[in-house]
């Protein structure tokens, strides 16, 4: 399968490049290198991403993570009823979501088309291998999506599912392929000492031992670092042999990510293992929560419910601030146009600057799946009040009950996996 390339003249290519440069400079003048630019840099410069030529001519003509959403009635790639692994909080159609237009959009990058996901090709090329997603429940969202996408191509294949905490695995027995999810919302270790949960910012060996044998690793983290109060997943942080009741959360994230990056550089043989990092997934709880930070919610003392497995099973906004409830189509206005796509205005999140910096400093950089901005346009893709079996009272109060953090399946994570598939094989 090959890319379908736009037949553009050198003039139009120059205009596209200038438009991309203009957006980066205007939207993020204080950013030395945006996630978009870093993703392109990692894709072009990392030798592990050159197993097949990505572009037939000039590699700078296609920007995978800049573009637009277009309607496509051939989507979705599978039906929820044919994929029993989908957890209740992602299974929007099963739990009564009435609209379907949100399922019928595909991502069109700037100046190229993504190859359509081919589940049989994935099975054949990944025969005998292990793919592991490591991180929080957004990683689980992507893991379940990939299982569904591959299963749709081989409905008669023998499979086996084992669920556990922290490790769950789905196996395609006929192909020797394992798709695993390892729950580690901070990536670094958490130990219990005298009944207290210690987030160890400089230790990762406890978790890391489970990742060494994978052939493909996809990491993510982000949402949990902002949680406070009852949402907080630890009692103390440990750094440099000292214990802290709290510290600047972005600084803590950077410490943890650098521990992860150093571990990957020291322990993963990059000649046999591909390493990816999923950029921070945006939420759509209220106007000040443009990306993933919950600082606005915490500052306004709004209630956000949480359970031990899913950090965002419900969220809160005020009655006068619209969340994702009732959204049925991608965002098409209110931002800056580039290559036919509309991007929201607003500050570039500090968390993504940290991700950029850490990945850039790795000896062998992970491939950054830079899904933040393209996902920001999909306010319609969240479960909202169709996240599991909510009570009638909860559904009647979407301002307090809507899940605007996770994503419906089928839905947006299928596009993340289409980009993942493209990076793996093209």
Active site residues: 137, 403, 406
* Pairwise CA distance, residues 66 & 139, whole Å: 22
User: Comparing C-alpha atoms, which of 248, 160, 162 is closest to residue 201?
Assistant: 248
User: Comparing C-alpha atoms, which of 364, 423, 408, 330 is closest to residue 117?
Assistant: 423
* Pairwise CA distance, residues 243 & 264, whole Å: 25
Phi, then psi, of 279 in degrees rounded to 5:
-60, 165
The tokens describing 185, both together, are 């919302």
CB distance 215 to 273 below 8 Å:
yes
Q: In what order do the strands lie in the sheet with 130-135?
A: 159-162, 167-172, 177-183, 130-135, 216-219, 274-278, 367-369
User: Comparing C-alpha atoms, which of 140, 306, 317, 132 is closest to residue 229?
Assistant: 306
Strands (E) located in 177-334: 177-183, 190-193, 196-200, 216-219, 236-239, 242-244, 274-278
* Pairwise CA distance, residues 181 & 165, whole Å: 9
Longest CA pairwise span in the chain (Å): 67
User: How many CB atoms sit inside 10 A of residue 183's CB?
Assistant: 18
SS3 384: strand
Half-sphere exposure of 77 (CA within 13 A, CB side): 24
* Pairwise CA distance, residues 402 & 70, whole Å: 26
**How is 97-110 classified by DSSP, letter by letter?**
----GGGSEEEEEE
Give the residue carrying structure tokens 């929007």: 92
List, in sequence order, every residue forming a beta bridge with 106; answer none if it has no partner.
70
* Pairwise CA distance, residues 168 & 189, whole Å: 18
β 190-193/196-200 pair status: antiparallel
């Amino acid at each position: 399968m090959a890319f379908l390339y736009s037949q553009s003249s050198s003039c139009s290519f120059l205009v596209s490049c200038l438009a991309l440069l203009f957006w980066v400079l205007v939207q993020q003048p204080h950013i030395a290198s945006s996630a978009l630019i870093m993703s392109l840099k990692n894709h072009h410069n990392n030798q592990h991403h050159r197993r097949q030529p990505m572009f037939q001519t000039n590699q700078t003509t296609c920007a995978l993570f800049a573009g637009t959403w277009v309607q496509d009635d051939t989507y979705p790639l599978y039906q929820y009823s044919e994929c029993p692994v989908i957890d209740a909080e992602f299974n929007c159609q099963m739990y009564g979501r009435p609209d379907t237009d949100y399922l019928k959009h595909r991502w069109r990058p700037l100046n190229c088309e993504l190859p359509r996901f081919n589940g049989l090709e994935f099975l054949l090329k990944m025969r005998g291998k292990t793919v592991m997603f490591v991180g929080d429940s957004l990683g689980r969202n992507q893991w379940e999506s990939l299982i569904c996408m591959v299963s749709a191509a081989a409905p008669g294949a023998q499979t086996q599912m084992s669920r556990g905490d922290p490790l769950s695995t789905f196996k395609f027995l006929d192909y020797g392929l394992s798709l695993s999810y390892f729950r580690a919302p901070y990536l670094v270790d958490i130990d219990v000492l005298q009944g207290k949960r210690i987030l160890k910012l400089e230790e990762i060996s406890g978790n890391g031992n489970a990742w060494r044998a994978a052939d493909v690793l996809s990491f993510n983290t982000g949402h949990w670092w902002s949680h406070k109060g009852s949402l907080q997943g630890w009692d103390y942080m440990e750094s440099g042999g000292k214990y802290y009741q709290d510290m600047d959360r972005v600084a803590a994230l950077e410490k943890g990510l650098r521990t992860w990056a150093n571990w990957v550089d020291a322990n993963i043989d990059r000649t046999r293992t591909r390493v990816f990092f999923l950029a921070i997934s945006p939420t759509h709880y209220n106007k000040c929560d443009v990306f993933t930070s919950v600082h606005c919610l915490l500052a306004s003392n709004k209630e956000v419910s949480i359970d031990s497995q899913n950090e965002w099973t419900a969220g809160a906004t005020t009655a006068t601030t619209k969340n994702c409830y009732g959204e049925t189509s991608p965002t098409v206005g209110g931002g800056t146009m580039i290559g036919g796509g509309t991007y929201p205005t607003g500050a570039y999140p500090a968390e993504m600057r940290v991700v950029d910096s850490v990945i850039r400093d790795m000896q062998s950089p992970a491939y950054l799946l830079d899904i933040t901005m393209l996902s920001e346009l999909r306010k319609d893709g969240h479960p909202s009040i169709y996240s599991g079996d909510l009570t009638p009272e909860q559904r009647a109060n979407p301002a307090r009950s809507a899940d605007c953090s996770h994503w419906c399946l089928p839905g947006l994570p299928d596009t993340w996996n289409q980009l993942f598939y493209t990076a793996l094989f093209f």
